[in-house]
Amino acid sequence: MSNRIDVKKTYKLFINGAFPRTESGRTYEVKNAKGVFIANPCLASRKDLKDAVVAARAAQHGWNKATTYNKGQILYRLAEMLEGRRAQFVDEIVTVTGVSKAKAEKEVTDSVDRLVWYAGWTDKISSLSGALNPVAGPYYNFTIPESMGVIAAIAPETPSLLGLIDSIAPIIVGGNTVVVLASTKAPLSAMSFAEVIATSDVPAGVINILTGKKDEITPWMASHMDIDGLDISGLGAKKHSDVKTSGSENLKRIYSFKSADPGRILAFMENKTVWHPIGL
Amino acid sequence: MSFYGLVDGTEASLKKYLGSLSGVDQVGADARAAMLSTRSIKTTSKRWAIDTAITMVDLTTLEGADTPGKVKALCTKAVRPDPTDPSVPSVGAVCVYNDMVEIARTHLDLIGGQHVGVAAVSTAFPSGRASMAVKIQDTKDAIEAGASEIDMVIDRGAFLSGQYIEVFDEIVKIREVCGSKAHLKVIFETGELVTYDNVRKASFLAMAAGADFIKTSTGKVAPAATASVVLVMLEAVRDFYAMTQVRIGVKPAGGIRNTKDAIKQLVLVNETAGPEWLKPSLFRIGASALLNDLLMQRMKIDDGYYASPQYVTID
């Protein structure tokens, strides 16, 4: 048998647990380091962002109410699924970025390990940051971190897979839902990661992934009144002040991170303090 | 009663009248409705459409769990949908169950909402399964309590078994009870009528019997106000106008939840019945969640950024 027709993958968006094309019908070209054409992913529009935020908002209450144990299991499941498809991710990273196979393998290994690490934090983060506060009265006074709501994130250009996982996982660990804009130059592993999410019992709408141009989507993320926080780790430092200005209308929490640490989880959580009378 | 000279009130004449109707091309109606649904309305036209849609909303609460407090809150929202923006128009009417009519009317008058009507669902809503005496009393109660619009349901069982005259007489009797005090809207529950031919037949039956409005659904049965069903009903009122020079209104209800859906309805009206129907006296949209989405889209146009449901009321 010869002359078999290539079956090429169509890279689409991931919104509300489904894989729609962008409503705008636009695509853009992804090329490898040598300028060879690789794929036509969707060029998401502001309306795709709007749809993703609606889905994320609808999913937030349910995800927040899921037990920390359940959240941890689901994040661990993501790691399991990613491990099982390791070869595909290595291949995609090599194809797009042109790095060595060993380097790509290391990125995938780190990504799996990072997911396992975040999975462990789901039921521990409140003990890390929560407190029993000393007060002058017959009360217990607790402070516990709670989810903030819908968080948007701009993933870094590189590393495309590990960076995406650092943009998604810390946000959902705390009970938030997320809308993430993937790496523009290397979106393939992000869209394949969406397939991992779709097979990992993550409720629809908890994670939404867009591909497109940062300059087009970021201002709409910053000004959207129904986005409570924004992770701009993937955005150039020069653009930070513009984003922070337009994000001030609804007092969005806007942060940029350089590493993965528990602070990254707590950044998108809000402390709630409860007074409880001590029974005599 | 003259029934526009179309029928004389006997079963024979009604059968002849309904028998003279042409059938509906189902594939054609679906295709036409789908084509009109792709129209894109932008900027100033969208702004006009949103405000027009707000004036056409019959703000509805029809739950077993309705309380006087909820009805009052709904009335307040009906008069001033966005308390932070006085340029937002009032809705067409509030639509409540019979026993809430008096509460709604009193509260509306109290807060300066005399121009907002109260619609009462009547005749054993939503099933329509009660004796004629009960249905008449139901309607009388609502009108006495201050309802200016009566949304009656037809007996679908009678209609589907071919007892058209029963349905016709029922509408005529309720029409008599309404007199000049209340507008009569006749609900078909199109989801239970099954075919578009039945929808067209029911439309002409209700119009001849004296309906001021024909309404798709109760909101309790799916599918409700699909674009195709609304298209068939709009064609019916257009054809009825050609026959009698009388304009009957249309009210889609159920399943219209966002601005896009509402604007699709307005496009259907404009392209099917005509621009004369684009006013609250001839077109209403029965909805509850829709109003919040209209307000949020309005904010988006004014502010230039996407709005949050946290800035509109929880109904």
Instruction: Kindly report the CATH number assigned to the domain that includes residue A115.
Output: 3.40.605.10
Q: Which residues of A touch B304 (CB under 8 A)?
A: 223
Smallest Cα distance from B37 to chain A, Å: 15
Q: Is residue A16 part of a domain?
A: no
Q: Is residue A263 part of a domain?
A: yes
Q: Is residue B313 part of a domain?
A: no
CB of A86 within 8 Å of a chain B CB? The answer is: no
Q: How far apart are CA A161 and CA A230, in angstroms?
A: 19
Q: Is residue B105 part of a domain?
A: yes
Question: Each residue of A64-103: pLDDT tens digit?
Answer: 999 999 999 999 999 999 999 999 999 999 999 999 999 9
Is there a catalytic annotation at residue B66? no
Q: Is residue B315 part of a domain?
A: no
In the predicted model, is pLDDT for residue A1 greater than 70?
no
Locate all alpha helices (DSSP H) within chain A, ordered by sequence.
Answer: 46-65, 68-84, 86-97, 101-121, 125-129, 160-173, 188-198, 214-223, 240-246, 262-266
Q: Is residue B309 part of a domain?
A: no
Q: Is residue A4 part of a domain?
A: no
Q: Which residues of A touch B307 (CB under 8 A)?
A: 225-226
Q: Which residues of B touch A223 (CB under 8 A)?
A: 304-306
Is there a catalytic annotation at residue B151? yes
The number of C-alpha atoms within 13 Å of B6 and in the hemisphere containing its C-beta is 24
B120-148 average pLDDT score:
95
Domain that holds residue B154: 3-302
Q: How far apart are CA A274 and CA B104, in angstroms?
A: 40
Question: Each residue of A21-41: pLDDT tens digit?
Answer: 999 999 999 999 889 999 999
Smallest Cα distance from B31 to chain A, Å: 21
Q: Which residues of B touch A152 (CB under 8 A)?
A: none
Domain that holds residue A105: 46-277
In the predicted model, is pLDDT for residue B12 greater than 70?
yes
Q: Which residues of B touch A224 (CB under 8 A)?
A: 305-306, 308
A151-175 average pLDDT score:
97
Number of domains in chain A: 1
In the predicted model, is pLDDT for residue B1 greater than 90?
no
Is there a catalytic annotation at residue B315? no
Smallest Cα distance from B312 to chain A, Å: 12
Q: Is residue A170 part of a domain?
A: yes
Q: Is residue B127 part of a domain?
A: yes
* Active-site residue, selected from the candidate residues B72, B77, B185, B251: B251
Q: Is residue A25 part of a domain?
A: no
Q: Is residue A175 part of a domain?
A: yes
Whether B307 and A225 lie within 8 Å, measured CB to CB? yes
Smallest Cα distance from A197 to chain B, Å: 27
Number of domains in chain B: 1
A146-168 average pLDDT score:
96
Question: Each residue of B227-269: pLDDT tens digit?
Answer: 999 999 999 999 999 999 999 999 999 999 999 999 999 999 9
Q: Is residue B314 part of a domain?
A: no
Question: Each residue of A34-60: pLDDT tens digit?
Answer: 899 999 999 999 999 999 999 999 999
Q: Is residue B311 part of a domain?
A: no
Report which secondary-structure segment, H or E, holds B19. helix B11-19
Q: Is residue A139 part of a domain?
A: yes
Whether B310 and A220 lie within 8 Å, measured CB to CB? no
Q: For residue A3, what pLDDT is reported?
A: 87
- pLDDT bin (cut points 50, 70, 90) of residue A8 is confident
Provide the chain A residues 172-191 that lie in CB contact (below 8 A) with chain B. none
Task: Tell me which amino acid residue B294 is.
Answer: L
The answer to whether B188 touches B207, Cβ cutoff 8 Å, is no
Mean pLDDT of chain B: 95
Which value does ipTM take for this structure? Answer: 0.86
Q: Is residue A40 part of a domain?
A: no
